[in-house]
Each structure stands twice: as structure tokens, then as C-alpha cells.
């Protein structure tokens, strides 16, 4: 079984079909390329030298450019590949869609038979292992067969069922193999697929999925989706499942020209739960309970005064702190996932490209960090758990819950500290662009929509600053 696939002859990367260990010789085009580092499943590996600024070619087209020189066998991902798009682009989408006329193949796939007739071949469908299944058309002349070949391709576009007989289970296997996502995201996808999707839809041909059928399935998950039979799944989980299924259908459309009616199904309505920030009174009580000697105190301060996520807090190393510049570099995150049936901590790159950032630190926080890390080696985790390991984010959340209970403050998730940071920055006059970058958001709209929660006190101050109109004066 191949360990990697080269999708297009022009590609300078291959996609790992399975995790590739460092030192593994990967067969490519009759030769082999040795992996110089571990390559996660579904991720790209360079098969030729790629210089900084040079395009990374996948599907036969540039998908971005290298940010550093890469030798054959290098893992190519967000840490060394950037999109070719740049700047901030605001646009208004006003589609003007016109049906496209089918285009004849640039090359004629066929030949002249011994009996004098011409035979033309075309791809009718792809098998679960990715191999093409062909059909043939016949005629007296080259031109006649070429027209028949084009007509057959046109018919496939009108009758997608003939082009995509793969089941949902079969297509998901292909989708996961090519998905260029982090290991934690891949495992989250795999969990949703195996637990929620395949039991009811696994053997259904993709082309047979309908908008009504998908809507009925999602409604069932909402009402009866729990495996223990105790009710339905949360609105967020149902929506995540719906988004994943639609991603699969778009993959089927791109790879097999299979236009499925289920793409027209409406996504379930999901209103993101509003996170309650800590009030000034609660912060004062919390501050009195924090002890410099406790790791949870440092974690709280990093989230509350630097806006870090809990996984980013747990993954911080001493070397990430620049005491001269007064900054901290956020370049990794830790998450507990189930991989191959085993629960484990996974240290990986942050949530997105924009999440990799440098955040200035308050002088008091910098002093706390300096005292806490004085005796630690540069590569040590600041929030260390077991020997040499980062603290489990779940442990951090648990200790925060205990701290709130001890302070008499009603329960919040650790993430509420990050939201409190954003809200306090706004209330103190910070510009939204700076806040967005410190939080690691790609779009300031995310910051404004989800992370800014004006307090009642803040709203009251706004009202009091308005010049009051005196009646009859």
C-alpha cells in the first residue's frame, strides 16, 4: 500500500496517506525521497528542493509559497508555507452566474481499432481506491468519436449519479486522506464521522443524498443523536456535523463532478453561546485569592493580561519569553486528543497562522514570569505537568474551577479570561486592530462579534457622558 500520493505530475509535493516517520523512504516517480522529519497523515512532503519564495505546487497549481528553503523530504505546512494572497481585501459578492458550455478535452483519449473504427475513452467514475473506471464510444471517424466523447462527458454532468456511486463511507476515507489539517482536527473529524455520520449514512451512495434526507438526518441528531439514548446532540455539534458533510459533498463535486442535491440543505441554526466576562468586583476578589507560588495563578494572569488560550498557556516554554523586549511569543498549543484509541497530549502549532504572534506583556506580569522561571532551563514548560510534559489543559480548567468556587464566583470556563482581556482592552481605549492581533484573530470582525462584551458599568458611563437635555430650560 502506498504511503503517499502525487496528485499531479507537475506537483513538487506529495500527500501522506498514512503518517510517515522520519527516515522513511517514500517511492515517488520510480525513485524514492527520504522523509527528513515526521509527516502527519494528510499533510504535504516536499519531493524536490523548494526555495524560499518559490511556489508550492499541488493539484498541478500553486497553493502558496515556501517561507523558508526546503529540501526533499521536508514537511510542508503552515509553519513554512504561506498563501499567495496578501493584504486585507474587502469585497462585495454579487454573483452573475451563467451556465458554462462543456469544453472538449484538449487531448483525444482514444485510438483507431484494427477493424477501422475509432474508439474514444472517458472517465465514467472513480472506484473507492481512487482508480478510474472508463467507458468507450465508437465511430467511423476521429471527429465523430470526439463528438460522442464530449456528449458523454456532458451527460455525466447532467446525471451526477452515474459519476459518483461511492458510498458516504468510501468517500469519507478519501476525503480524510487528502485533508490538509492538523492531527487534532483530523481526529475530531474522524470522531464525528464514526460516531454520528456512518451509523446512519455510511452505506448511502453520495449521489443519492437529498436536501430533505440530510435535513431529516440532522433533525434526528438534534433530537435523538446521543449514543446512550438519553436525548439529542447539542446545536453546535449538529451544525459541525452538517458542515463536515457539506465539505464532503463539495469534495465529491470537485473530484468526481458529482453535484448532490444535499448541498442545497440549509445548515442548522446555531447561536454561539455568549461567554460572560468577569466583572470588576469579581476580578478584585479573584486577585486576592491568587498566590504567586501557584501555577494556576500564573495561568490566570497570562490569559487575563495577555489574552492567551488555555492550550497556548500550557504550551509556553521559558525560551518564548523575551525579557529585554518585554514580549512573549505564542508559537504552539497543547491539546488532549484520542489518537489510535489512546488518549494523549499533543503539542502542535496554534489554531491558525494568525494565532502565531508576539504579545507585549504588562511589566508586572513580566516580573511574575521572571520570578517563576528563574530556576528553569530555557526549554522547560512554564506550566509543567509531569516530568518534561506540559500541563494538561483539562487540569488547568479544573484548577480554575476550584479557584472560582473558593472565591464564591459562579462558574466560568477558563476561556472567559480571554474574553475579559478583550473587553477590558476596549473599555480602556485600545484600538480594535491591536486587540485582534494580540488575540491572534485573522479578522477584526471575529474580535468585535465574539470577544467584546461591554459591561453594565461601561454602558452606564456612556450614558452619563451624554449631555442631558433639560426640559423647559
β-strand partners of 135: 122
Cell 523575551 maps to which residue? 322
> Using CA atoms, how far apart are residues 118 and 130, in angstroms rounded to an integer?
28
b/e burial code for range 204-219 (CB count within 10 A of at least 16 → b)? bbbbebeeeebbebbe
Q: 262 near 209, Cβ under 8 Å? A: yes
Q: Which residues contact 284 (CB under 8 A, 6 or more apart)?
A: none
Please report the DSSP string for 386-429 in residue order.
STT-BPPHHHHHHHHHHHHHHHTPPP--THHHHHHHHHHHHHTT
**Residue among 94, 98, 230, 342 flagged as catalytic:** 342
CA triple 176-182-186, angle to 5 deg: 35
**Residue among 43, 182, 357, 441 flagged as catalytic:** 441
Q: Which of 444, 196, 161, 421 is nearest to 313 (CA)?
A: 421
**Residue among 126, 146, 148, 309 flagged as catalytic:** 309
Instruction: Decide if 418 is catalytic.
Output: yes
Greatest Cα-to-Cα distance within the chain, rounded to the nearest angstrom: 106
**Residue among 58, 305, 418, 424 flagged as catalytic:** 418
- What are the φ/ψ torsions at residue 423 (nearest 5 degrees)? -65, -45
> Using CA atoms, how far apart are residues 100 and 153, in angstroms rounded to an integer?
13
The C-alpha cell at 416 is 472567559
The C-alpha cell at 99 is 451556465
Instruction: Decide if 451 is catalytic.
Output: yes
DSSP state of 39: B
**Residue among 122, 175, 189, 451 flagged as catalytic:** 451
Residues recognised as catalytic: 309, 342, 415, 418, 441, 451
Amino acid at each position: 500500500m502506498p504511503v503517499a500520493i502525487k496528485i499531479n505530475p507537475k506537483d513538487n509535493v506529495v500527500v501522506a496517506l498514512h503518517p510517515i516517520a522520519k527516515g522513511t523512504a517514500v517511492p515517488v516517480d520510480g525513485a524514492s525521497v527520504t522523509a527528513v522529519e515526521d509527516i502527519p497523515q494528510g499533510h504535504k512532503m516536499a519531493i524536490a528542493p523548494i526555495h524560499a519564495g518559490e511556489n508550492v505546487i499541488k493539484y498541478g497549481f500553486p497553493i502558496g509559497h515556501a517561507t523558508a528553503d526546503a529540501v526533499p523530504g521536508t514537511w510542508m505546512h503552515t509553519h513554512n508555507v504561506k498563501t499567495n494572497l496578501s493584504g486585507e481585501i474587502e469585497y462585495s459578492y454579487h454573483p452573475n452566474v451563467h451556465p458554462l458550455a462543456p469544453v472538449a478535452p484538449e487531448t483525444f483519449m482514444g485510438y483507431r481499432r484494427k477493424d477501422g473504427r475509432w474508439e474514444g475513452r472517458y472517465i465514467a467514475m472513480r472506484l473507492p481506491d481512487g482508480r478510474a473506471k472508463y467507458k468507450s464510444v465508437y465511430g467511423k471517424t476521429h471527429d465523430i468519436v470526439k463528438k460522442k466523447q464530449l456528449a458523454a462527458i456532458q451527460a455525466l454532468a447532467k446525471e451526477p449519479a452515474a459519476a459518483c456511486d461511492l458510498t458516504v463511507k468510501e468517500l469519507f476515507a478519501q476525503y480524510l486522506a487528502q485533508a490538509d489539517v492538523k492531527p487534532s482536527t483530523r481526529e475530531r473529524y474522524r470522531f464525528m464521522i464514526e460516531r454520528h455520520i456512518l451509523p446512519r449514512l455510511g452505506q448511502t451512495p453520495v449521489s443519492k443524498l437529498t436536501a430533505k434526507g440530510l435535513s431529516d438526518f440532522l433533525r434526528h441528531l438534534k433530537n435523538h443523536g446521543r449514543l446512550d439514548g438519553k436525548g439529542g446532540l447539542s446545536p453546535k455539534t449538529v451544525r459541525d456535523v452538517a458542515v463536515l458533510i457539506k465539505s464532503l459533498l463539495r469534495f465529491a463535486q470537485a473530484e468526481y463532478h458529482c453535484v448532490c442535491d444535499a448541498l442545497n440543505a440549509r445548515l442548522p441554526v446555531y447561536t454561539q453561546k455568549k461567554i460572560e466576562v468577569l466583572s470588576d468586583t469579581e476580578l478584585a476578589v479573584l486577585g486576592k485569592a491568587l498566590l504567586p507560588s501557584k501555577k494556576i495563578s500564573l495561568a490566570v494572569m497570562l490569559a487575563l493580561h495577555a489574552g492567551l488560550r488555555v492550550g497556548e498557556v500550557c504550551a509556553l516554554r521559558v525560551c518564548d519569553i523575551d525579557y529585554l523586549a518585554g514580549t512573549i511569543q505564542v508559537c504552539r498549543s497543547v491539546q488532549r486528543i484520542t489518537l489510535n484509541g489512546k488518549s494523549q497530549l499533543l503539542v502542535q502549532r496554534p489554531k491558525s497562522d494568525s494565532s502565531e504572534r508576539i504579545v507585549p506583556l504588562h511589566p508586572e506580569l513580566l516580573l511574575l514570569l521572571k520570578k517563576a522561571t528563574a530556576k528553569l532551563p530555557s526549554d522547560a514548560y512554564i506550566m509543567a505537568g509531569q516530568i518534561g510534559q506540559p500541563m494538561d489543559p483539562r487540569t488547568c480548567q479544573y484548577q480554575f474551577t476550584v479557584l472560582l468556587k473558593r472565591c464564591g464566583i459562579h462558574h466560568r470556563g477558563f476561556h472567559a479570561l480571554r474574553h475579559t482581556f478583550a473587553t477590558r482592552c476596549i473599555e480602556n481605549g485600545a484600538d480594535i486592530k491591536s486587540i485582534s492581533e494580540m488575540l491572534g484573530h485573522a479578522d477584526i470582525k471575529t474580535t468585535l462579534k465574539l470577544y467584546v462584551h461591554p459591561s453594565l458599568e461601561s454602558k452606564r458611563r456612556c450614558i452619563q457622558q451624554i449631555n442631558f437635555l433639560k426640559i423647559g430650560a
